[in-house]
Amino acid sequence: MESGRGALLVLLVALCAASALGRTPSWDGKIEMPTEEDAEKGTRWAILIAGSSGYWNYRHQADVCHAYQILKRGGLKEENIVVFMYDDIAYSTENPHPGKIINKPDGPDVYQGVPKDYTGADVTVSNFYAALLGDKDAIKGGSGKVVNSGPNDHIFIYYTDHGGAGVLGMPTSPNLYADDFVDTLKKKAAAGTFKELVIYLEACESGSIFEGLLPEGLNIYVTTASNAEESSWGTYCPGMYPPPPPEYDTCLGDLYSVAWMEDTEIENLKKETLEDQYVIVKSRTSNHNTYRTGSHVMQYGDVKLDVEELARYLGYDPANENVTKPELPEFLSAHTEILTHVDQREADLIHLRYKFRNAVKGSLREANAATELAKTIVHRKHLDDSVQLIGEILFAGENALEKLTAVRPAGSVVVDDWACLKTMVRTFEASCGPLTQYGMKHMRAFANICNARIDPAKMAVASSEACKLSTSAGSGIWSPVTSGFSA
């Protein structure tokens, strides 16, 4: 006891002496041991997913590679970053600079050093869920890397690809459905293996993945590129401002994605909060709230977490230490009347048109591009006409289009019965062929068919009737641009 009083007396004398000399130390009244501080910070983890394949989808893998470089520069260890990408872009015969990937017109190569954890056929929904849950036994193929996180850890998930109402694309079957994804997030939360989890999600209708499904109280914060009923947008595309280098005939990035990444690269992430970045990204993605092009960036889950600094999730680049506060971007302010972005679902057509336009006249490349463009247009018409005809059959022609496209109130789950939705998609594909990236625009139609309690047997008959009328348009010519299958 006496020794404790003596130590306290020495401390008080030292404080008084320092005060008398005008050098009062900054002290908040508590003493934290370094080991306690380190334990509180925990470990940063990240999962990065590009959900597509094919050179026409260049931008998705470019986004993921860029995100990896940002996290690595921010201090995250490679062992704590799990990367899912098909890895068929860097050395594609279409790539004008083999072995390199860029994410903006004047940008550096972002491909070098990116780990190939899960590539090709190993980029699956089941591997993603297993990696998130830290379940090494459930992993099939790939590096086996998982998020082996603990209760004080912070996790960042970034996904970029095509989407539809309640679904996200993957380069392998099956696609990722919202109910399964949210259930996996709930399992992760119940396991107590993270402190806070942040998700950035780039896809069309990406808000539908969380609306009505993701509850508060899980310490999960989400932003999405779009709301539940609109497209997200590609950028740095041929013929737009600013264009990619002339040798590229594809979009280099996605608008929401490059917005958060380019902001991250110039800010002091120890001072910028999740909310700061949300406001900045929302402004740029909406074309400064004009929506001439662009979409509504949304927040879901525990939005209260947005007061926290980005450094907790993305790390910190010392090069930006002197940046004092976040600034709204001025990138588009002088060019709001110029075409700057393209609807995600139209980006493949942009690619094919410029591939055709830039090819040597009379060359095999020109002929192939013309064929692919024609097939893609025919295939799209086949899908659109088939879904509309199915609706007319099932709803006896009474306001069929309105019933297929009806949108539930904001905040509502897109479908009541997820098993039904998955069954309806399989039933459609059995008669009409792969739904494809473009076809995901019709997911709401299938959801509405389920919500109307249509019997799956009736859906099977309607699909068979509708699609046999366009067999020549649907069979054997599925565009590799939109489906990933050979023509």
204 is catalytic: yes
What CATH fold (topology level) applies to the domain 38-320? Rossmann fold (3.40.50)
Peptide bond connecting 245 to the previous residue in cis, omega within 30 degrees of 0 = no
Tokens 């393209």 correspond to 342
Do 38-320 and 359-483 come out as alike in CATH topology?
no
**Which listed residue (66, 154, 204, 288) is catalytic?**
204
Peptide bond connecting 98 to the previous residue in cis, omega within 30 degrees of 0 = no
Tokens 């119940």 correspond to 190
Ordered per-residue pLDDT tens for the chain, 487 residues: 444 444 443 343 343 444 333 333 333 333 333 333 344 579 999 999 999 999 999 999 999 999 999 999 999 999 999 999 999 999 999 999 999 999 999 999 999 999 999 999 999 999 999 999 999 999 999 999 999 999 999 999 999 999 999 999 999 999 999 999 999 999 999 999 999 999 999 999 999 999 999 999 999 999 999 999 999 999 999 999 999 999 999 999 999 999 999 999 999 999 999 999 999 999 999 987 888 789 999 999 999 999 999 999 999 999 999 998 776 555 444 445 567 899 999 999 999 999 999 999 999 999 999 999 999 999 999 999 999 999 999 998 779 999 999 999 999 999 999 999 999 999 999 999 999 999 999 999 999 999 999 999 999 999 999 998 764 444 443 333 333 333 3
Among residues 453, 343, 438, the alpha carbon closest in space to that of 387 is found at 438
Residue boundaries of the structural domains of the chain = 38-320, 359-483
| CA distances from residue 425 to 9, 218, 484 in whole angstroms, order as listed | 76, 31, 17
Angle among Cα 224, 230, 236 to the nearest 5 degrees reads 75
**Which listed residue (60, 66, 154, 162) is catalytic?**
162
65 is catalytic: no
Q: Is 27 exposed, middle or buried (0-12, 13-18, 19+ CB in 10 A)?
A: exposed
Q: How far apart are CA 347 and CA 344, in angstroms?
A: 5
Top CATH class of 359-483 equals: mainly alpha
